Amino acid sequence: MRLRVVVLGAVVVAGACTGGSATTSQPPGQVATSTTVAEATTTTAPATTTTVPATPQSAAQAGLPWWNDRVFYEVFVRSFQDSDGDGLGDLQGLIDRLDYLNDGDPETHDDLGITGIWLMPVFESPSYHGYDVTDYRRIEPDYGTLEDFREFLDEAHDRGIAVIVDLVLNHTSRRHPWFAESYSRDPEFADWYLWSEQDPGWLGPSGQQVWHAVGERWYYGLFWEGMPDLNLTNAAVTAELHDIARFWLEDVGVDGFRIDAAKHFIESGTRQEHTAETLAWLEEFLIEVESVAPEALVLGEVWSPAVLAGAYVPEALDLTFDFDLAAGVLLALEAGNSSPVVAAMEQAMEHYPPSQFATFLSNHDQTRVMSRVISEERAEVAAKLLLTGPGVPFIYYGEEVGMVGRKPDPMLRTPMPWSGDAPGVGFTDAEPWHPAQAGYETANVADTTGDPASLLSTYRRLVDLRDGHPALRYGDVLPVETGTSLVYAFVRTVGDDHVLVVVNLSRIPATGHSLDLAEGPFDSTVSATPLIGPDVEPPVVNAGGGFSGYRPVAEIPPYGVMVVSLHSG
């Protein structure tokens, strides 16, 4: 069980939650990143009571885990870079492209600057996507070997990048040897899956068929017949999955896991999500992971509102993705109205521990951002909200160059456009496994990397900005009333670091805004330094340390964003 007692900006933080008294925000065995090199010499305080400086410079100093200092990048290896000319992405190709993500040199600014990678499944699987595993200890041959993976991991760690891997525990492939043995009623494996001698007849949460016939019996497979669910009430199955996790943490050295379909693990009668048994199983799994690697990240996919997804954190999972907040950002931009994102943020603040949720704009299962918001102008606003907001941000590969994509799923996972040269788009010298998405001629790395006005350059600056401001990485969130539905605003604050974010979500200028923060962290006077946007006048501080009737500019242009450092003096 992890103790999460956090008082940001105070003098003492009780119960540091990263498994010890480390003063740098980094997983075990990893070199310091550009934001933590200087912190490596900080004096280590006792684990139970850590003195916090006026402005903690790392998540650890603020009593938070290392992942609160990170920006993660989701990679589909099959689509990232082909190194051997077969049209399929692979681990060696990913190694070749690591400098694009982070070259390991804090003095350079032409890399993306990410400090974490989430790899979609890399285990052996018969499907292109990998979510139906046939061998949890073997790398998918299309991607390379375990030796290739170890090389990739070393190269990532050398650059200060943490790596988590997709771990699919809810189900396997129907082609997994375990399923064959279970079907044959082998005594060792007979109840490793969920069997019925008759068709139970009930459907899944979305009305889908979940009981599938094979021979004269039926087995339960929530997602489709090719992915039978494991019987996680079987102690032998649990022990094997614990051993698999131990292998990747201890023998290979990954920094954690993204847990697929976490809300579906154990059924209770016809209830197929959010059961007490599922939470208990995950709590046990988290304890097992901590016993092997105390600082490993266990991130769960719990595709539900915050009131449900937040209940998993921190006892059953370290983080869950906030799907409603992602939807709220995009809905607000589509409507030109702040209500969806305001409501989603309120729910996140209510139902998660401080900063312990993962944020994103889209992922491998959802329509890509550019296909939702259409314009690069609105995509930039979405990126600014993601990377100035609370939580641990995840960028889906290609979002930074404006990749498009709508379902079916393969259309969401197409090759990364490194150049505008068809058909390989810099991804391969051969015919790619899937054609590049429309727009690659201009929405690619080569054509946008040197353009300071490009979406890619915006992402680079935003990651660098977040990296340089503790308030943006793990500061508290103070909602700001704006007086108009066109404008969304909040303050991020920790210690002496205070950042105001003001966003016009509309295609029309905002002139009726008036910013109000009844209670805030400010002294009697503050100065204002623009980080994004024009010079502005500072607010007049009210008796509660906030401000009232503040208009930093007379007019906020369409989709205008202001990020302002507010500091004493």
Residues 6 or more apart in contact with residue 65 via CB below 8 angstroms: 17, 18, 25, 59, 295, 297, 318
Helices (H), 400-545: 445-448, 455-468, 470-474
Task: Answer for the pair 481, 487: CB distance below 8 angstroms, yes or no.
Answer: no
Exposure of 388 by Cβ count < 10 A (0-12 exposed, 13-18 middle, 19+ buried)? buried
Find tokens 């669910």 and name the residue.
229
Asked whether residue 560 is assigned to any structural domain, the reply reads: yes
Question: Residues 283-300: what's their mean pLDDT?
Answer: 98
Would you name the residues annotated as active-site residues? 260, 301
- Containing structural domain, residue 9: 1-66
DSSP run (H or E) holding 502? strand 497-504
Pick from 220, 239, 273: which residue ends a domain?
220
Q: What is the CATH number of the domain that holds 492?
A: 2.60.40.1180
How high is the pLDDT of residue 192?
98
Find tokens 């997994």 and name the residue.
176
Question: Residues 460-465: what's their mean pLDDT?
Answer: 98
More confident residue, 48 or 207: 207
Question: Residues 365-390: what's their mean pLDDT?
Answer: 97
Neighbours of 87 (CB within 10 A): 18
Pick from 220, 245, 271: which residue ends a domain?
220
Pick from 10, 38, 66: which residue ends a domain?
66
Neighbours of 188 (CB within 10 A): 10
How high is the pLDDT of residue 53?
52
Angle at 225 between CA 223 and CA 228, to 5 degrees: 75
pLDDT tens per residue, range 430-446: 999 999 999 999 999 99
Quote the CA–CA distance of 466 and 408 in Å, as a whole number: 34
Quote the CA–CA distance of 112 and 102 in Å, as a whole number: 6
Question: Residues 260-264: what's their mean pLDDT?
Answer: 98
pLDDT tens per residue, range 79-138: 999 999 999 999 999 999 999 999 999 998 899 999 999 999 999 999 999 999 999 999
Question: Residues 293-299: what's their mean pLDDT?
Answer: 98
Asked whether residue 47 is assigned to any structural domain, the reply reads: yes
Asked whether residue 130 is assigned to any structural domain, the reply reads: no
Helix axes 235-246, 276-292, angle to 10 degrees: 40
Exposure of 28 by Cβ count < 10 A (0-12 exposed, 13-18 middle, 19+ buried)? middle
Confidence class for position 568, pLDDT limits 50, 70, 90: confident
How high is the pLDDT of residue 524?
85
Give the chain's domain count: 3
pLDDT at 452 over 50: yes
pLDDT tens per residue, range 344-365: 999 999 999 999 999 999 999 9
What is the reported pTM?
A: 0.92
Asked whether residue 96 is assigned to any structural domain, the reply reads: no
DSSP run (H or E) holding 566? strand 561-568
17-21, 215-219, 536-540 — which is least confidently predicted?
17-21
Q: What is the DSSP letter of 160?
A: T
Question: Residues 543-566: what's their mean pLDDT?
Answer: 97
How high is the pLDDT of residue 1?
30
pLDDT tens per residue, range 238-256: 999 999 999 999 999 999 9
pLDDT tens per residue, range 147-198: 999 999 999 999 999 999 999 999 999 999 999 999 999 999 999 999 999 9
Confidence class for position 236, pLDDT limits 50, 70, 90: very high
Quote the CA–CA distance of 369 and 367 in Å, as a whole number: 7
Asked whether residue 193 is assigned to any structural domain, the reply reads: yes
Residues 6 or more apart in contact with residue 160 via CB below 8 angstroms: 26, 30, 31, 32, 33, 34, 102, 104, 115
Asked whether residue 43 is assigned to any structural domain, the reply reads: yes
Give the SS3 label for residue 69.
Answer: helix
Asked whether residue 91 is assigned to any structural domain, the reply reads: no
Asked whether residue 157 is assigned to any structural domain, the reply reads: no
How high is the pLDDT of residue 27?
62
Among 369, 365, 437, which Cα is nearest to 407's?
A: 365
How high is the pLDDT of residue 44?
34
Give the SS3 label for residue 217.
Answer: strand
Percentage of the chain beyond pLDDT 70 is 91
Question: Residues 302-320: what's their mean pLDDT?
Answer: 98
DSSP run (H or E) holding 309? helix 306-309
Helix axes 455-468, 376-388, angle to 10 degrees: 10
Quote the CA–CA distance of 345 and 390 in Å, as a whole number: 9
